[in-house]
Amino acid sequence: MLSLSQQSRLQHQHESIVEMTKGLSEEHLRTRPASGKWSVFENIAHLSSYQQAFIERLKRIEKEESPSFDRYVGENDPRFYECCEMDIHQLNEHLFTHRFIISNHLSSLPEANFRRTGRHPVFGELAISNWLEFFLLHEAHHLFTIFKLLNSTAS
């Protein structure tokens, strides 16, 4: 079962992307920092492509007995590159659509399924409720990265 905190973050946390990037040019969003790390746009593309992987993981956990998962690496996922090819409006639509799918899927999940587990390569055996917490915290990390990229005084 989803906690109230999880429900709220699942429904609204990703909306901060639109708020933070409102009025900024796509060129600006695609500019990589001097460190060479991902741009704001690439961080958003990663979050969007990871949502599809997360849905697949949830479905495997529901069907299989405690499946094991490799670490998700955006650069190894062709969907990440597909997301990078979108314009910012398409990317936001992609992100919001897949979030809606995740939210609907979890809201219709029988309570017993939240105890089903999958094996994370670092954190071990996690129930679906903990996979969701991991998903939301991972997203929050990237949202903070986006905030820092957009508000850094370094050039």
- Structurally, the chain folds into a number of domains equal to 1
Rounded to whole angstroms, how far apart are CA atoms 45 and 77?
Answer: 11
Give me the pLDDT at residue 1, please.
84
Give me the pLDDT at residue 39, please.
98
- DSSP assignment of 66-97 equals S-B-PPP-GGG-HHHHHHHTS-HHHHHHHHHH
Number of Cβ within a 10 Å radius of residue 107: 11
Give me the pLDDT at residue 124, please.
97
CATH number of the structural domain spanning residue 42 = 1.20.120.450
Give me the pLDDT at residue 115, please.
94
Give me the pLDDT at residue 155, please.
47
- First-to-last alpha carbon distance for the chain, in angstroms, is 45
DSSP 120: E
Rounded to whole angstroms, how far apart are CA atoms 9 and 35?
Answer: 30
State which residues form the domain around 17: 4-151
What is the residue-level pLDDT of the chain in tens, covering all 155 positions? 899 999 999 999 999 999 999 999 999 999 999 999 999 999 999 999 999 999 999 999 999 999 999 999 999 999 999 999 999 999 999 999 999 999 999 999 999 999 999 999 999 999 999 999 999 999 999 999 999 999 986 54
Burial pattern 7-43, b for ≥16 Cβ within 10 A else e, equals eebbeeebeebeebbeeeeeeebeeeeeeeebbbbbb
